[in-house]
Structure 1
Amino acid sequence: MRRLLTTVATLLALAIGTAHADVGLLELPAQGEDGPIQVFYPTAQHAAPVQRGPFELQIAEGAAPRRGNGRLVVISHGSGGNAWVHSDFAKRLAEAGFVVALPLHRGDNFRDMSEVGPASWKRRPLEISRAIDAVAADARLAPLLSLDRVGMYGMSAGGHTALTLAGGRWSPARMRQHCEEHLADDFQSCVGLALELKDDGFDGLRKAVALRVIRWKLDDASSYGHTDPRIAAIVAEVPYAIDFDPASLAHPAVPLGLVRAGRDAWLPHAYHVDSVLRACQGCTLVADLPTAGHGSLMSPQPPGLSGTAAKLLRDPPGFDRALVPQAQGRAIAFMQQHLLP
């Protein structure tokens, strides 16, 4: 019966995504050290072209919100990311009746990558909680929502945030241990975009430099975590996961869905999402895309990528982007199943 209900919900979400529905966009201003929050929501006003950097959105900017299904979903972007590469998904969630908030994570976004990694990971879950607070304090949005059952979705470093909010406990020292043991096989998740193995005779030196920096920076054995009682369902897409204590994810605090990309060159699934699936009892593999790369579900795709970032984020040859809305539909169905009456 549960499988049947899930299938019906998936079909409903896919149907909703193809129906005409207008979506509004508001920006909640930065507060204190937190960045601005982009909010997508149902509206009765018609969409028009809106430019955000290199992205053109069809959206009703500043339109009056109307009540949808009464639920909020918060999306956490990946390292160096922003709201706009998740805007197609946010619009589909809004078309399904959700209000969707996308905070800009301090020190780890497209404008500022000065604190990528553990420094940001400690803050990110708290920034998600404060994003919920900001929506709750907005006179236009709060009357339309019940915030006792909030959904949360995160991609990559945002997936790390998602696992934390699901009850996971992580430690920089765990990351160091993993990288000491698996540096060659999981090089990019250990060093990010700073270095790349090139099989040119200098990889030994690159590994030695990487290990020296890793051992210097990741000497903190403290365990970090943060949950929010308002969050009732979470999906982690290609999550960064090597630094989590598996036992802390054996029984997540809320229903936890996962998205796996079979050709992820940045966070190989064998070390990341698969480790969560092995540890977790009751997690749902919401979408499994064997031909997808790390950035394949970003939609629209970020333009102008070059160098290592392009190799890690562009679609692998042969990936069919028609799979993207299908995966989004399954994530929407997961939220509907766990957040709606």
Structure 2
Amino acid sequence: MRRLFFFFAATVLALLSGLAQAAMGLAEIAGLAGDGPVTVFYPSSGEAQPVRRGRFMLDVAAQGAPIRGNGRLIVVSHGSGGAPWVHADLARTLVEAGFIVAMPEHRADNYKDDSNPGPDSWTMRPAEVSRAIDAVGRDARFAPLLQLDKIGMYGMSAGGHTALSLAGGRWSPAAFRQHCEADLESDFQTCVGLITRLTGSGLDSIRKWAALLVIRHRFKDSTPREHNDPRIAAIVAGVPGSADFDMASLATPRVPLGLITAQQDRWLVPRYHSDRVLSACLPRCELIADLPTGGHGALLSPLPPGLTGLIGDMLNDPPGFDRAALLPEVNRKTTAFFSTHLLP
């Protein structure tokens, strides 16, 4: 027994040493059923080199050969208009722990096509996550390295809304409309996105009237939206949109649920979103991290450079937010949450 223990310990140490020396691979696979591509980050034996993706320079082994990690997959759902690259630092921390990370491109709500964000996208996103799992499971490079019976899922902002749906939450477009009718002025950006903002001028009354006119016309359906994928066994929601959820449906999450909050978020004001979820689900969920000085873009890492105008106001860091000190620790805590709930 003693020899068996030391053999097992040596094997684990060898595996961890190999992963520590591995590069982060980067590949793109085709989505299913007409979906956009799925970006995959993974442990690789390839050599990391600087690779440009949009405005970002990533140190990755592009198309590098995958190597075995811990056998578990994490799916990441990006925010509205989002891209895989703004979650590359979290992906790296997960990959260093042995996970493979898959990021689907959500239809009509991504950096290449942002023509239909909001409730229409939120309705489609959970099934897109499930099909991304299927796509990775059919890929000859990754399928042999994974067990798909226990999968992790992470979502930020609109992706956090996706995460709450997969955790058992129920919502409807009509509930979104009701929230905006009641709290339009105090949660204006949630209701209108980047179309406009309130300025304190006399035109604000016209902006609010027009916003409600559109919202009331588009979002009448009160049919509850819900989606269950039994393969997903642990979920993290970062600064999630959630004002349109039935909080009773989140009181007892279907799987272990972690939350990350940012108290200076002016895009998804916490008292209508993340704080409501925490009030509903604690102690049956876990607060992974609270960022008292963090804004809505706090979890984007790397943060897109050169953001100006309304999107800059929403995503750039507020004064006093120490990104370099805080974000690596949040990523480590997120990775530890998944390791606790997904690994033997």
Question: Could you state the TM-score of these two structures normalised by the residue count of structure 1?
Answer: 0.93
Q: How does 1:65-80 map to 2 (within 5 A)?
A: 65-80=66-81
Structure-2 separation of matches of 1:319 and 1:138:
40
Residue by residue over 1:75-107, the C-alpha shift from the partner in whole angstroms, topping out at 9 and shown as x without a partner, is 000000010110111111111100000011011
Contact 1:107 1:114 in 2 (8 A): yes
Bigger Rg, which one: 2
Aligned mate of 1:340, from 323, 340, 343: 343
Contact 1:33 1:106 in 2 (8 A): no
Match for residue 3 of structure 1?
none
Task: Give 1:297 deviation, angstroms.
Answer: 1.3
Contact 2:104 2:132 in 1 (8 A): yes
| Partner SS state of residue 59, structure 1 | strand
Task: Give 1:19 deviation, angstroms.
Answer: 5.5
Q: How many residues align?
A: 326
Structure-2 separation of matches of 1:121 and 1:200:
32
Match for residue 305 of structure 1?
307
Match for residue 177 of structure 1?
178
Structure-2 separation of matches of 1:285 and 1:97:
24
Structure-2 separation of matches of 1:38 and 1:191:
29
Contact 1:169 1:244 in 2 (8 A): yes
Match for residue 257 of structure 2?
256
| Partner SS state of residue 136, structure 1 | helix
Task: Give 1:52 deviation, angstroms.
Answer: 0.8
- Aligned-pair Cα RMSD in Å: 1.5
Amino acid in the other structure paired with 2:82: G
Residue by residue over 1:8-45, the C-alpha shift from the partner in whole angstroms, topping out at 9 and shown as x without a partner, is xxxxxxx99x9654111111024442000110111122
Contact 2:152 2:235 in 1 (8 A): yes
Structure-1 separation of matches of 2:92 and 2:29:
17
Contact 2:297 2:316 in 1 (8 A): yes
Match for residue 8 of structure 1?
none
Match for residue 50 of structure 2?
49
| Partner SS state of residue 240, structure 1 | coil
Amino acid in the other structure paired with 1:335: F
Cα distance change on mapping 1:315 and 1:20 into 2, 3 Å: farther
Task: Give 1:306 deviation, angstroms.
Answer: 2.1
Matched, 1:323 2:310: no
Match for residue 120 of structure 2?
119
Structure-1 separation of matches of 2:22 and 2:285:
32
Structure-2 separation of matches of 1:19 and 1:232:
26
Match for residue 10 of structure 2?
none
Contact 2:32 2:131 in 1 (8 A): no
Contact 2:31 2:131 in 1 (8 A): no
Match for residue 225 of structure 1?
226
Contact 1:90 1:100 in 2 (8 A): yes
| Partner SS state of residue 271, structure 2 | coil
Q: Which one is further off, 275-284 or 151-160?
A: 275-284
Match for residue 144 of structure 1?
145
Amino acid in the other structure paired with 1:305: L
Residue by residue over 1:103-135, the C-alpha shift from the partner in whole angstroms, topping out at 9 and shown as x without a partner, is 110110011111111111111000100010011
Match for residue 188 of structure 2?
187
Structure-1 separation of matches of 2:102 and 2:48:
19
Task: Give 1:200 deviation, angstroms.
Answer: 1.8
Match for residue 211 of structure 2?
210
Structure-1 separation of matches of 2:255 and 2:288:
15
| Partner SS state of residue 33, structure 1 | coil
Q: Which one is further off, 212-221 or 248-257?
A: 212-221
Match for residue 134 of structure 2?
133
Task: Give 1:223 deviation, angstroms.
Answer: 0.5
Task: Give 1:296 deviation, angstroms.
Answer: 1.3
Match for residue 165 of structure 1?
166
Structure-2 separation of matches of 1:277 and 1:132:
28
* Structure with higher RCO (Cα < 8 A, 6+ apart): 1
Q: How does 1:213-292 map to 2 (within 5 A)?
A: 213-281=214-282, 282-292=284-294
Task: Give 1:305 deviation, angstroms.
Answer: 2.0
